[in-house]
Amino acid sequence: MANGTIGVSQIDVLTTSGTGTLSIVPPATNTNRTLTLPDGTGTIVANGVNGSLVSGTAVTCANQTSIDFTGIPSWVKRITVMFSGVSTSGTSLFLVQLGDAGGIETTGYVGGIISVDLTVGDNTGGTVSTAGMIVGGGVAAATYSGTAVFSTLGSNIWVGQSNTSAGSAGTFLTIGNCGKTLSDTLTQVRITTVNGTDTFDTTPSAGKINIMYE
């Protein structure tokens, strides 16, 4: 039987037969931890182990043309971008772009969206983009809430799907998808607009955007 500490992690009881309880809290950093057992060694990957979720810091929309989330760890396999009550100054659609150590990539995306007016159940049209994944927007007076989720197939290939709805100025549901192969390991995400000049504003309310990854 062995008792010990790994970083901030505590091994309660561990026996050579594999019985007992092993309790490990991943450290705050993204470094790996190595666990040595009587009959061999193993590696514990910090953060994201066993489906744990890591949340970013929510950004309040205040006249930015783009919002970046950087420092995403290399082990990440899925990223969720979350919108709550987000509005823009114009009619340009929201756009999510992925990036690596070389910067945000603005070409090579394959996908689009379709919007539905929930009050009448009619399709209001679709839009495609090669500059990023469109996730909604289009009405300056409206606020939008929803998510955009990206998952990797490996080899820097990412696929995404989005689901957003418009509030105050209309009842619309926007559904989209996207595929993108990055030049290198993903490290950052940018939320902007198609024209790149409309701002995420505080009218009619100051919305929030955040990410969560695993």
Q: What's 83's DSSP letter?
A: E
Query: Which H or E element spans position 100?
Result: strand 93-100
| CB neighbour burial string for 134-172, b if at least 16 within 10 angstroms, e if fewer | bbbbbbbebbbbbebebebeeeeebbbbbebbbbeeeeb
| CB neighbour burial string for 96-122, b if at least 16 within 10 angstroms, e if fewer | bbbbbeeebbbeebebebebbeeeeee
- Phi/psi of residue 49, nearest 5 degrees: -75, 140
Q: Looking at domain 53-213, does it have CATH number 3.30.70?
A: no
Give domain limits for the chain.
2-50, 53-213
Q: What is the distance between the terminal CA atoms of the chain, rounded to a whole angstrom? A: 33
Amino acid residing at 76: V
User: Mind listing the pLDDT tens digit for each residue in 156-199?
Assistant: 999 999 999 987 555 778 999 999 999 999 999 999 999 999 99
- Residues of the chain short of pLDDT 50, as ranges, are 1-16, 28, 47-50
Other beta carbons less than 10 A from residue 182's beta carbon: 19
User: Mind listing the pLDDT tens digit for each residue in 51-69?
Assistant: 578 999 999 998 999 999 9
The CA distance from 210 to 25, in Å, is: 24
pTM (2 d.p.): 0.76
Between the alpha carbon of residue 69 and those of residues 59, 83, 137, the distances in Å are 9, 14, 20
pLDDT at 137: 85
pLDDT at 48: 47
